[in-house]
Amino acid sequence: MSIDYDRYDRIRAVQWQGDHLRLLDQRLLPRAEEWIDCRDAAQVTQAIRDLAVRGAPAIGIAAAWGVVLAAQQGAPLEPALAMLRAARPTAVNLMWALDRMKARITAGADAAALEREAQAIQDEDLAANRHMGELGAALIAPGSGVLTHCNTGSLATAGFGTALGVIRAGVSAGRIDEVYAGETRPWQQGARLTMWELVRDGVPARLIADSAASHLMRSGAVQWVIVGADRIAANGDTANKIGTYQLAIAARHHGVKFMVVAPSSTVDMATPSGEAIEIELRDPAELLAVAGQRTVVEGAQAWNPVFDVTPAGLIDAIVTERGVIEHPNALAMQAMFGS
């Protein structure tokens, strides 16, 4: 498949600078393109917690660089690992990257060796995304329309993206004609971030209100819903941004196919099913205001889970860099990822 990476893979939001980590502040996009310089593991932890850097693979990569900063400064590494690990609970890429760094530490790696490991984690993610782009796009019939949710692009990864990588590859290869992105309330990852990426790439895309998704599917304009993942359990149940589950239900009802795209670092074979995945609850204030402006009556309360679990039975394909699993279940997952 011919993919024009010069056009479709130009954004790098996580940039190692040798002695500090530079992050494109995703809280401000698209209004402002400002960079944050993290100079120790505590600043990286804060950036992950506050969503300055977000998206499952990107927070794993950032955390790995946080460990490198601690090592360069001669800081105790166990507390740094523990602090970074506790930054957010749902995306397993965070724990996966820290476990990988910890294994190198246990093997006696110095700061330079840890730097090479973090760079490998970042480079492998980019390579995985490009490979998944090809695998996922190959499932899509030419002339298709697709709907995506949240932001799974270069901002959320080392580059190119997972679900957005498949969309980029599909557009580049002439298989996808129409792209729709849901707003992704309350944090607006779709409206603020995915649309920013697609407009920069010159991909014609249309934003929809999250609540317009079923109506869109009924219209026949989309053949696939394509999403990323924060954790895929051993039976294929998939945690992703809140609202993904209702998209999967609506897709099945309308005969629209549902694809999950994630690197193997998102697969957690130690978690048997979605029920065991911890769902992050964030500050209800995120729901009670828009852009810092209170929109809900004082005294009102809110419940703000930011992920949900889509059961494997609603997923038509899980695409990882190791290959595609159609109709995922525990057996197929074990065959590809071991136990």
Instruction: Give the nearest distance from C-beta 48 to ligand MRU in angstroms.
Output: 9
2, 26 in Cβ contact below 8 A?
no
Beta strand residue intervals within the chain, DSSP E: 14-16, 21-24, 35-38, 144-148, 176-182, 205-208, 224-227, 231-233, 238-241, 257-261, 267-268, 289-290, 293-294, 307-310, 317-320, 323-326
- Contact segment (CB under 6 A) with ligand MRU among 2-10, 50-58, 106-114, 139-147 equals 50-58
Which residue in the list 9, 125, 201, 230 is annotated as catalytic? Answer: 230
Binding mask 297-316 for ligand MRU (x = CB under 6 A): ---------x----------
Closer to ligand MRU by CB, 75 or 207: give it. 207
Closer to ligand MRU by CB, 115 or 197: give it. 197
Instruction: Give the nearest distance from C-beta 274 to ligand MRU in angstroms.
Output: 14
Instruction: Give the nearest distance from C-beta 296 to ligand MRU in angstroms.
Output: 21
Q: Is 230 a catalytic residue?
A: yes
Could you say whether residue 154 binds ligand MRU (CB under 6 A)? no
Could you say whether residue 56 binds ligand MRU (CB under 6 A)? yes
Query: Nearest Cα to 65, choosing from 106, 26, 13?
Result: 13
Interface positions, 235-294, toward ligand MRU (CB under 6 A): 240-241
Paired sense of beta strands 307-310 and 238-241, if any: antiparallel
What torsion do the CA atoms of 222, 137, 210, 217 make, to the nearest 10 degrees?
20
Instruction: Give the nearest distance from C-beta 55 to ligand MRU in angstroms.
Output: 4
CA atoms of 95 and 103, how far apart (whole Å): 12
